[in-house]
Amino acid sequence: MKSSMPDNKKKSYAIITGASRGIGFYTAKLFLKKAYSVINISRSECLLPGVLNWLVDLSDSKSIDEIKIKLSKKMKNEKNIFCLVHNAMRLWRDDVSSLDVNELRHLLELGLIAPIRLNQLFLPCMAEGSSVIYIGSTLSEKAIPNTASYVIQKHAVAGLMRSSCQDWVGSGIHTACICPGFTDTAMLQDHVGLISLEKIAERTAAKRLITPKEVARLIYFCAKNPIINGSLIHAHLGQLES
């Protein structure tokens, strides 16, 4: 019978999209501390010492071809333990009545198509015990006004994770979708604009924002625990409904 436990002799890699800041940055920092080799796939460099940066724009379909070349040079057809974290995303203010479909295509290329293609690229390299972690949102299962493209993409990511779980049965690779609530990042600040983060924090039962470090710890937990396979995990400090 095949063992579902990872082979300790294999190398461990964390592949994180959008690790230059926010949740991705702190996730890279934690995985480095846990002795993983960390690769950031993003437009911007992750400045943590020890992180290998593959600088591409994932909203450009040609970027996957660039990553394929880098991967073939780096891995040399070896199978190792991977945690692939789909974190890169952009948050725009828009609504369904005036949604620019070209902007929506751009966003879906980054937040949905790129994860699908990266999965297809990395899966042949993944040994049993590997994981694919999707970063969703509380908006993966509900909606708020003026955030249409983000809501659409995050709902789709939840479906992609659930399909991943079903289609990878027997592979020894597990998956989950982590759905953070109000997290103290530049992306949240840019989105809320003049609304203070203190007011946003009041909309949680804990009366504070989530820290990117907390989300990073949850990502690491999911990577190490295949029991969560197929789970959509909310991490929102008891977000209050308006």
Q: What is the pLDDT of residue 192?
A: 63
Q: What is the pLDDT of residue 164?
A: 98
Q: What is the pLDDT of residue 50?
A: 97
Quote the radius of gyration of the chain (alpha carbons, Å). 17
SS (H, E, C) the chain: CCCCCCCCCCCEEEEEECCCCHHHHHHHHHHHHCCCEEEEEECCCCCCCCCEEEECCCCCCCHHHHHHHHHHHHHCCCCEEEEEEECCCCCCCECCCCCCHHHHHHHHHHHHHHHHHHHHHHHHHECCCCEEEEECCHHHCCCCCCEHHHHHHHHHHHHHHHHHHHHCCCCCCEEEEEEECCECCHHHHHHHCCCCHHHHHCCECCCCCECHHHHHHHHHHHHHCHHHCCEEEEECCCECCC
Q: Rounded to 5 degrees, what are φ and ψ at 146?
A: 65, 30
Q: What is the pLDDT along the chain (242 residues), one digit of tens a residue?
A: 444 444 457 899 999 999 999 999 999 999 999 999 999 999 999 999 999 999 999 999 999 999 999 998 887 778 999 999 999 988 888 999 999 999 999 999 999 999 999 999 999 999 999 999 999 999 999 998 999 999 999 999 999 999 999 999 999 999 999 999 888 877 766 666 546 777 778 888 888 998 999 999 999 999 999 999 999 999 998 988 76
Amino acid at 55: L
SS (H, E, C) 2-29: CCCCCCCCCCEEEEEECCCCHHHHHHHH
Amino acid at 124: P
CA distances (Å), 37 to each of 75, 96, 121, 157, 185, in order? 12, 41, 18, 26, 25
What domains lie within the chain, and their CATH numbers? 12-235 (3.40.50.720)
Q: What is the pLDDT of residue 5?
A: 45
Q: What is the pLDDT of residue 8?
A: 53
- Find how far residue 97's CA is from the centre of its chain: 28
